[in-house]
Structure 1
Amino acid sequence: MLTSVHSNHQQPWNSTRQTLIHLPNCKTQFDINQIHARLLTTGFISNSYLTTKLILNFTSSPHTPLIQFSRHLFFSNSITRCSNAEDPFLWNAVIKTYSHGDDADDDPKEAVFILGLMIENGVHVDKFTFSLVLKACSRSRLAKEGMQVHGFSMKSGVVNDLYLQNCLICMYVKCGRVEFARQVFDKMRKRDSVSYNSMIDGYVKCGKVLLARELFDSLPMEMKNLRSWNCMISGYGVVEDGFRMAWELFDEMPERDLVSWNLMIQCCIKSGKIDLARALFDKMPKRDVITWAKLIDGYAKLGRIEIARQLFDEMPERDVISCNVMMAGYMQNGICLEALEVFNNMISDVNLAPDDTTLSIALSAIAQLGLLDEGVTVHTYINKNGFKLDGKVGVSLIDMYAKSGSIETAMHVFKSIKEKNVDHWNSMIGGLAIHGLGKQAFDMFLEMHRLNVKPDAITFVNVLNGCAHSGMLKEGVMCFEIMRRIHNVDPEVKHYGCLVDMFARARQIKVAINIIEEMPVEPNDVLWRTLLSACNNLENGMVNHGIKMDSYGSGTYVLLSNMCARFGMWDRVRRVRETMKERKIQKVPGRSWIEVDGSFHEFFVGDGSHAQVAEIYFMLDNWSPIKSQVGSLKVQYEHKPAALF
């Protein structure tokens, strides 16, 4: 940039104009370094006119290096010159970089610090100063500092300004102090729609919908706008049995915008009225990607994944959120291959860029499928595109490697993450547990304690699971007691399930049964299966406990039936099968998949639905070791192409 400055011979080399005319082209740290060097070599660093121009220009820039340099100039050169100033305009410009900035590294609390400097240096503080500092307090939920600013504004005599009072209400609402916001609201001499809407929004967000409705009803009709109506609809949308009230408001609205339609569709979906949601969707004058994503998510959560995919394919344009919703829908329905297909399509689309959520879902799908090579490819993509591993991406990456059989790589990833949270520890401990490395899992749990990382309920499930699979009964009981007595975590059914599994594996069935009978929570299907699995290799005297259970999982009934058959209890086998028929419980068929030339093929037991089933059976027919089994399967295929189970 300096080269272009020196090439202009119409102005002296040390003219301030040479610096000012190039400010619009300044964007990067390199540009800033050149500007700074010029200020130092020319002595313009002491020129108040030029530095003020630079500060005002750079504080409004979207480029982080320019904002940071404007702060440097202000703090190093302008504070003393701006002392006792009547016009706080320059101070307000710098405060705004903290209150409205988008940089995650910015600390909005600095705005409060600058306000303190203004007071210390005798600078006049106006209502805009207060509003900017309150905005900063809202961003970081600084309730205590916000209350101090509120008190100072009262002493300064500007607190009765309508704009400033609305800022105070907004600050208290954002900080979760809705009762203080109401005190400000009640003392206002004059209110506008912003005052009412901020207060209504505050009540809605803290779940006080009745108080929000009182304010809404008291709001003069001429002040009610789209935000007022939308706030109330969103409030009823999260309340149990709030659908009727939300629908009435939606029907009464004098006008609707896209937000109104989306909120009502979401309310219908939450209330289980997916057909009504679809009717609204079809009736909408205009849709956006949020509209499509909400309906796709609604169908997916109901298990109607085919309709969800049809909607996804019909979208005129997609964004990362809609792709994430479709991937999550597939995962919820246990269809991992299709979730991975959506991800791969995103990667190949130049208009779509995966985010942390996308990568987390993709890694979860890979972990379920055990496709280590695919996982390595995604890991390479993560490194190449600069994704950080200190959040959910890192957690999912550890989990993927562990579940794909590469526990060493999982540990390497774990150790490479500098700022770990409890989720990273949980993922690593869980990985060690499923690999039967209970001692390492327990040691890592002790390491968490040494580093003052507070464990949560999931941590204890993983440690207990590791102890159960490694026969570490003493350590497992110790962990359970640490959870209850030291960390005050109330045991859930999952923790009791691990404890039962631990004693059952140690062949202490009576202790396991006593735990089930004395536990304060209702035993679930998984817990009964755990006990039955242990009984399968023991005396049939324990079978009676299984017969009395009241479970709805097909796997449990099949396990019980097989166990009874093992002991020759055929009358009870018949009773279990009859119970399954009465309750319309069907066994989920087993399935497997194989990757061929980059494509994945899925097969159920006795499946005849594959497009190349004839060629597959022809090939197997000539494989002599299993020729007899193939003949049996061919008969099934010819008479019943559907999956047998």
Structure 2
Amino acid sequence: MLTYAHANQPWNSTLPTLLLLDKCKTQKDLNQIHARIITNGLIKNKSIRKQIIITFSSSSQIQFAHYFFSQFHYKFDLFLWNSIIKSFSHGHNPKHAISLFSLMLINSVCPDKFSFSLVLKACSRLSSYKDGLQIHCLIGKSELRYDVFLQNSLICFYCRCGFVELARRVFDRMPERDSVSWNSIIDGYVKNGNINAAHELFGLMNSKDKNLITWNSMISGYVQSVEGLEIARAMFDQMVERDLVSWNSMIDGYVKHGKLEAALYLFDRMTVRDVVTWANLIKGYAKIGRVNIARRLFDNMNERDVIIWNVMMAGYVENGHCLEALKLFHKMQSEGNLAPDHATLVTALSAAAEVGRINEGLLIHGYIERNKLPLDGNLGVALIDMYSKCGSIKSAMWVFKNLKRRSVDHWNAIIVGLAIHGLGELALGLFFEMGMLSFKPDDITFIGILNACSHSGLVKEGLLCFELMERVYNVKPKVQHYGCMVDILGRAGYLEEARKVIEEMPIEANDVVWRALLSACKNHLNFDIGQQAAKHLIELGSFDSSSYVLLSNLYAGVGLWGDVRKVRMMMKEREVRKIPGCSWIELNGVVHEFVVGDKPHPEAKEIYFMLDKMCAFKL
């Protein structure tokens, strides 16, 4: 930035400095301005100081404005108090807005309606109910207690904090209401799940006061349930005027409830569409597995933003098309006009993890490091997960150890990773370290640590962790945790104890729990308990082929071939097909997948020739 602009002006003229204020973008620019006003004496100029506070209070350089405000004691300038409070209530530190408001009262500055509304905004963002109540009391004692603008602010505050009945009390006591009052309370009921109360108020509202916001609030409330879709559509059809929010709300409602034809019908009739419109429909088709249609919609878009790319990539990953997701990620980068955000990178890492493409993961990790992106959120979790699933547990540990800040999710990711690799003792060490560092384990932590104990044969340690779960950490066991316990005991041969765990479960065991017991019975050739487990699986109507295969193998293990045939007949009658096991290998960036007796591979002849040679060599 040039500080010698307007050379024809005197050095101590205020004009060049005022013109330069709006051009300040960086800390270096601020330092230059600060130095300039100090050296030329303009720092003593009250109007310059005031303009600096006003300019920077609405920018990212709020701390600079706050410094000037606190240094030069503008304690009776209400406009400046409001400017500074607004910057914090709408910015990253709403708590400081409440502190400033308190300081304002201490300095005997009488707040106006804007001061009150700004501090209420801060309270609602923090869900600070007690602070908001105190503000309400102050308003009630002031001359502004019947001001419509402030009453509307109070309604919004109570609704955002979840106290809709208190908001309704404020609404009912208002001597005068405007359309904002009605819209605020209706929206509050909708967002807190009380569509019937919202509908009642909607019916009481004068037709002239109903605007787009009113209709859109009601539609967005009704589309949350399948039953409400028809009412929402009827209201949509009654609307004299519709905006993008109206159309998008209806399409989103149809998509959420799987009514894609109705969503597409509205989509085709829209004259103007935005990113949200396209994202809703693409997400909807991906959700029902129609990724080909989702991709066609994606390709038909003239302009795409990062959100659209993320939605399409996530659709591929959710449907198991992880390689396509990675191709799309590379296409996004090659087009060059968009930079991946955190969600893009998390999705790409998940895709790489699912197909074991560690080279892709390394490239993404390199991008993260080059751009100095923080790993203290989901990005760090996804990176640990990727390395674990791709077989590089050392790299996963390196990422975990080098995190500046860790959350429970990071601990969970590394514990689950160690469990996958059968490193139960290391996982246990981290679990106890986690407790010592005051991180509270959640239900996912215990699934991870119990799996680690199961895969490492740590029976006593598994029982201890299960005991700590509810007694020390107050985490109520779910069916997955009981399944882990059955697996721990079953693998170690404690089949009676495993059955006892199922019998004493406070919740009904699902097919996964019974399958864990059946698998253990097959491994330890316990026919009696295995038959009981199989009976429960059949009663549950399980269509998982592994249940039938385990039962068939159990019968075969004790020579009951007639029962083996019966199981196979049952599979045929129920149209249960065994999914063939497959193996894959990545070579020169290409993943090759093989199943038993596979022939379609383009180099199948060469592969079988080499296998025959290897077998002949062994003989």
In the superposition, the TM-score normalised over structure 2's length comes to 0.93
Task: Report the CA distance between 1:271 and its aligned residue.
Answer: 2.5
CA distance in 2, matches of 1:36, 1:581: 82
Q: Segments of 4+ in structure 1 off by > 6 A?
A: 626-629
- 1:312 alignment counterpart: 298
Match among 534, 537, 545 for residue 523 of structure 2 = 537
Task: Report the CA distance between 1:471 and its aligned residue.
Answer: 1.4
- 1:72-91 equivalent positions in 2, closer than 5 A: 72-77=67-72, 79=73, 82-83=74-75, 85=76, 88-91=78-81
- 1:31-110 equivalent positions in 2, closer than 5 A: 31-60=29-58, 62=59, 64-65=60-61, 67-77=62-72, 79=73, 82-83=74-75, 85=76, 88-101=78-91, 106-110=92-96
Give yes or no for contact 1:130–1:149 (8 Å, CA) kept in 2: yes
Task: Report the CA distance between 1:299 and its aligned residue.
Answer: 1.9
- 1:617 alignment counterpart: 604
- 2:372 alignment counterpart: 386
- SS of aligned partner of 2:285: helix
Give yes or no for contact 2:254–2:260 (8 Å, CA) kept in 1: yes
CA distance in 1, matches of 2:229, 2:599: 45
CA distance in 1, matches of 2:374, 2:218: 38
Query: Residue type matched to 1:52 in 2?
Result: K
Task: Report the CA distance between 1:20 and its aligned residue.
Answer: 2.4
Give yes or no for contact 1:525–1:552 (8 Å, CA) kept in 2: no
- 2:577 alignment counterpart: 586
- 1:259-338 equivalent positions in 2, closer than 5 A: 259-338=245-324
Bigger mean CA offset, 230-239 vs 475-484: 230-239
- 2:240 alignment counterpart: 254
Say whether 1:218 aligns with 2:204: yes
CA distance in 2, matches of 1:579, 1:115: 74
Give yes or no for contact 1:590–1:605 (8 Å, CA) kept in 2: yes
Post-superposition Cα deviations, 1:482-523, rounded to whole Å, max 9, x if no partner, equal: 112222222111101110111111111111122222212222
CA distance in 1, matches of 2:69, 2:574: 75
Post-superposition Cα deviations, 1:247-302, rounded to whole Å, max 9, x if no partner, equal: 22222222222222221122222323222222222222222222222122222222
CA distance in 2, matches of 1:59, 1:310: 46
CA distance in 2, matches of 1:627, 1:199: 77
- 2:450 alignment counterpart: 464
CA distance in 2, matches of 1:174, 1:604: 55
Bigger mean CA offset, 532-541 vs 163-172: 532-541
- 1:365-404 equivalent positions in 2, closer than 5 A: 365-404=351-390
Instruction: Quickly say closer, same or farther: Cα 1:53–1:270, change in 2 above 3 A.
Output: closer
Match among 13, 18, 21 for residue 19 of structure 2 = 21
Instruction: Quickly say closer, same or farther: Cα 1:126–1:503, change in 2 above 3 A.
Output: same
Task: Report the CA distance between 1:159 and its aligned residue.
Answer: 2.2
Query: Residue type matched to 1:187 in 2?
Result: R
- Give the unaligned 5+ runs of structure 1: 630-645
Bigger mean CA offset, 212-221 vs 339-348: 339-348
CA distance in 2, matches of 1:56, 1:547: 74
- 2:193 alignment counterpart: 207
Post-superposition Cα deviations, 1:511-537, rounded to whole Å, max 9, x if no partner, equal: 112222221222223223322222222
Match among 510, 514, 522 for residue 528 of structure 1 = 514
Instruction: Quickly say closer, same or farther: Cα 1:335–1:172, change in 2 above 3 A.
Output: same
Match among 544, 551, 561 for residue 570 of structure 1 = 561
Instruction: Quickly say closer, same or farther: Cα 1:371–1:181, change in 2 above 3 A.
Output: same
Task: Report the CA distance between 1:194 and its aligned residue.
Answer: 1.1
Task: Report the CA distance between 1:596 and its aligned residue.
Answer: 4.9
Instruction: Quickly say closer, same or farther: Cα 1:262–1:413, change in 2 above 3 A.
Output: same
Query: Residue type matched to 1:581 in 2?
Result: K
Post-superposition Cα deviations, 1:388-409, rounded to whole Å, max 9, x if no partner, equal: 1111111111111111111121
CA distance in 2, matches of 1:301, 1:38: 59
Query: Residue type matched to 2:78 in 1?
Result: P
Post-superposition Cα deviations, 1:75-122, rounded to whole Å, max 9, x if no partner, equal: 111x2xx34x3x511221222211223xxxx31122222222222222
Instruction: Quickly say closer, same or farther: Cα 1:606–1:330, change in 2 above 3 A.
Output: farther
- 2:140 alignment counterpart: 154
Say whether 1:4 aligns with 2:4: yes
- 2:183 alignment counterpart: 197
Query: Residue type matched to 1:48 in 2?
Result: K
Give yes or no for contact 1:2–1:34 (8 Å, CA) kept in 2: no
Post-superposition Cα deviations, 1:132-156, rounded to whole Å, max 9, x if no partner, equal: 2222222322222222222112222
Task: Report the CA distance between 1:327 and its aligned residue.
Answer: 2.1
Give yes or no for contact 2:518–2:534 (8 Å, CA) kept in 1: no
Query: Residue type matched to 2:196 in 1?
Result: L
CA distance in 1, matches of 2:160, 2:405: 28
Instruction: Quickly say closer, same or farther: Cα 1:562–1:323, change in 2 above 3 A.
Output: farther
CA distance in 2, matches of 1:11, 1:287: 51
Match among 111, 115, 118 for residue 104 of structure 2 = 118
What percentage of residue pairs aligned between the two structures are identical?
Answer: 53
Bigger mean CA offset, 47-56 vs 240-249: 240-249
Bigger mean CA offset, 483-492 vs 420-429: 483-492
CA distance in 2, matches of 1:434, 1:289: 39
Bigger mean CA offset, 361-370 vs 13-22: 13-22
- Give the unaligned 5+ runs of structure 2: none
- SS of aligned partner of 2:603: helix
Give yes or no for contact 2:586–2:592 (8 Å, CA) kept in 1: yes
Query: Residue type matched to 1:188 in 2?
Result: M
Query: Residue type matched to 2:119 in 1?
Result: V
Task: Report the CA distance between 1:454 and its aligned residue.
Answer: 1.0
Instruction: Quickly say closer, same or farther: Cα 1:440–1:172, change in 2 above 3 A.
Output: same
- SS of aligned partner of 2:439: coil
CA distance in 2, matches of 1:318, 1:33: 39
Give yes or no for contact 1:464–1:479 (8 Å, CA) kept in 2: yes
Match among 522, 529, 534 for residue 547 of structure 1 = 534
CA distance in 2, matches of 1:607, 1:621: 10
Query: Residue type matched to 2:210 in 1?
Result: K
Query: Residue type matched to 2:250 in 1?
Result: M
CA distance in 1, matches of 2:54, 2:534: 79
Task: Report the CA distance between 1:18 and its aligned residue.
Answer: 4.0
CA distance in 1, matches of 2:231, 2:598: 49
In the superposition, the TM-score normalised over structure 1's length comes to 0.90
Query: Residue type matched to 1:97 in 2?
Result: S
Query: Residue type matched to 2:472 in 1?
Result: I
Post-superposition Cα deviations, 1:418-471, rounded to whole Å, max 9, x if no partner, equal: 221111111111111111111121121111211111111111111111111111
CA distance in 1, matches of 2:605, 2:318: 36
- 1:560 alignment counterpart: 551
Give yes or no for contact 1:237–1:267 (8 Å, CA) kept in 2: yes
CA distance in 2, matches of 1:382, 1:253: 48
CA distance in 2, matches of 1:247, 1:626: 69
